[in-house]
Structure 1
Amino acid sequence: MSDASITTTQEPEASFGDYVALLKPRVMSLVVFTAVVGLLAAPVAVHPFIAFCAILFIAIGAGASGALNMWWDADIDLLMKRTARRPVPAGKVTADEALAVGVALSGLSVMMLLLATNWVAAAILAFTIFFYAVVYTMWLKRWTPQNIVIGGAAGAFPPMIGWAVATGGVSVESLLMFALIFIWTPPHFWALALFMNADYENAGVPMLTVTHGRRVTRNHVFGYTLLLAVLAVGTAFTAIGGPVYLAVALVLNAQFVLGAWRIWRRDETVAEADKYKVEKKFFRLSLLYLFAHFGAILAEAALRPWGLGGW
């Protein structure tokens, strides 16, 4: 038998980019940004090198959570168009490799943050990784339509970690930043679910659109958006707010409430006919919404030493 007649099938070798994708870099960017805002908005200055190290370890912790999520969710990721090209379901990284990366980076990030800063920041980071990987990914996501509501806490902890890096503790201000992300998460993800419902149905994920239908989901989007608007505008009159933040909050929350109202009054037939144009627009606005609010908090912190920030 000649060598030419022998064929072998090899698994595609993972590239560096595949391992980066395993860490969910887009989610990581939001984590890093909100953690930076929490750190810089705190009333205690942090040495630039310590701040850099802290943000790096927080980012690594976020990446570890992403890897653990992809390890556990590989089966349902394969069934959804939005996630089928992720490294594990695409066969570029094995599930065992994803687990190993996630566990190793989890331990590294928490240990290094503890050494670089303080035990409060490290403890919150450790709890964040546990909450996202175990409580949300392994339990809530496949068990309850409130998965996004409760699980949203995982994405809301980073500014609290940044604040704890600077102050060594938790305060009303850091809890307000937590609350902004926590209340923002349901309308953000439910808007996505309205036009990606087939993915969740195919994967058997009990998203609210699957278990209760789009009409109920639209009601929830509007209700949470109203609650978020009150919280966001009210934050302007706290220690992390000010006139710049108030201006941003008023404009964006007016747009956000209007978008949620349009979603609430939509008829499903019309929504299907225009391919969920209004829902997709609201989802895109939700991304700008969070970055702009935290950017405004950061602007107030930057202006404060000049006597211009805050009230």
Structure 2
Amino acid sequence: MNDSKLLLPTDWRDFFALTKPRVMSLVIFTGLCGLLAAPATIHPVLGFTAILCIAIAAGGAAALNQWWEADIDAGMKRTAGRPLPAGRMDRESARDFGVALSAGAVLLMGLAVNWLSAAILALSVVYYAWFYTVWLKPRTPQNIVIGGGAGAFPPMIGWIAATGHISLMPVLLFLIIFMWTPPHFWALALFVQTDYAKVGIPMLPVVAGERTTRRHILAYAALLLPLTLVPWAIGGAGRIYGVAALLLGIAFLALATQVGLRQSGEDDPMRPEKRLFGFSILYLFVLFAALVADHWASIEGWQP
């Protein structure tokens, strides 16, 4: 009986699912890269603590997002199996879990690492859980553009955790992810737009149509390429990063061009949108890995 199933205690895996672990992996990685690429040393225990706090806070923000959007998630095929819409958890538990994770992570970051990184960590939680989830997402088709800042904070936080101050490089890392987010997410939105339309979320493909969305994807990809080269141009990163950014950016722009020029209704089982979405994740991982490799190469004295 379904009723008896609902009376069972919530499984720990449901709490873990609330943290959006696949999304968290990218958050952890970019935060770690920011910490490792910073021109400062940090004790390994404190470094681990900083990354742990970033991960926990991201999980808390994700739980708060799902608490607020439980009804929306229930109406979308892609999210209907999450713990809240599937009826495996009550909303109050998700809310309390999210608050506890977020507050605990910020407090630990401040006490163990430094209060500047803790303040920006708190800002990232509020940005995603309230500014994006509650205010932006249901109101404007530019939600993912402005809301992209939520996922752009981790490398900045990691950098500041190591150095204790803000400089141009962590701001550039923030801007790179900020500019990467719209083409990444709109590529996904193009092939799940019926879900968003069904629940009344004004994603760009729903409000402005596929053609406009594809043009926006191409425009952001074109802007992203020169932006990723700025750290190399100003001397904040070396040749390893610069070459990687150039090659990755050309590949990203090529895929975005396929999406931008694609006509609605074309029969293509391997839709360019799906290829771009998949590559965009690999793109960010490799770009930030190249940043770290470049930094450590310069330390070891074998930078080409």
Same fold, TM exceeding 0.5?
yes
Q: Which residue of 2 is the match for residue 305 of structure 1? A: 299
- The one-letter code matched in structure 2 to 1:298 is V
Tell me which residue corresponds to 1:4. none
Aligned equivalents of 1:156 and 1:60: distance in 2? Answer: 16
What is residue 9 of structure 1 aligned with on the other side? 4
Q: 1:156 aligns with which of 133, 136, 152?
A: 152
Structure 1 Cα separation of the partners of residues 183 and 20 of structure 2: 21
- Of the candidates 197, 202, 207, which is equivalent to residue 201 of structure 1? 197
Query: Does the CA contact (< 8 Å) of 1:41 and 1:240 recur in 2?
Result: no
Q: What SS class does the counterpart of residue 4 from structure 2 fall into?
A: coil
Q: Which of residues 17, 39, 44 is equivalent to 1:43?
A: 39
Pairwise CA distance, 1:43: 0.9
Where does residue 3 of structure 1 map in the other structure? none
1:196 shift after superposition: 0.8
Amino acid at match of 1:9: S
Q: Please, which runs of 5 or more residues in structure 2 have no aligned partner?
A: none
Shift of 1:275: 4.6
Q: Which amino acid aligns with 1:157?
A: F
Aligned residues: 302
Report the secondary structure of 2:17's partner residue: helix
Match of 2:63 among 59, 67, 74: 67
How do 1:157-172 residues align onto structure 2 when only pairs under 5 Å count?
A: 157-172=153-168
**Cross-structure match for 2:114:** 118
CA distance in 2: counterparts of 1:194 and 1:165, whole angstroms? 37
Q: Shift of residue 10 of structure 1? A: 4.3
Task: Flag the structure with larger Rg.
Answer: 1
AA partner of residue 107 (structure 1): A
Answer yes or no: is 1:274 the counterpart of 2:268. yes
Instruction: Tell me which amino acid in the other structure corresponds to 1:178.
Output: F
The reply to whether residue 287 of structure 1 matches residue 291 of structure 2 is no
Which whole-Å CA distance do the structure 1 matches of 2:86 and 2:11 have between them? Answer: 13
Distance 1:308 1:149 in 2: 39
Partner of 2:216: 220
* Structure 1 residue 246, shift from structure 2 partner: 1.8
CA contact (8 A) 1:144 1:206 kept: yes
Shift of 1:174: 0.2
Q: What letter matches 1:167 in structure 2?
A: T
Larger displacement relative to structure 2 (7-16 or 195-204) = 7-16
RMSD: 1.4
TM-score, with length taken from structure 2: 0.96
Give the aligned residue type for 1:117.
Answer: V
Larger deviation: 61-70 or 251-260? Answer: 251-260
How far residue 9 of structure 1 moved from its aligned partner, in angstroms, is 3.1
Q: Distance in 1 between matches of 2:175 and 2:43?
A: 27
Instruction: Give the direction of change, closer, same or farther, for the CA distance of 1:10–1:265 in structure 2 (3 Å limit).
Output: closer
Percent of pairs with identical residues? 49
Offset from partner CA, 1:231-282 (integer Å, 9 cap, x none): 1123323344211112211221111111111111111010xx2256111011
Describe the shift of the 1:223–1:8 C-alpha distance in structure 2 as closer, same or farther (beyond 3 A): closer
What is the identity, as a one-letter code, of the residue corresponding to 2:274? K
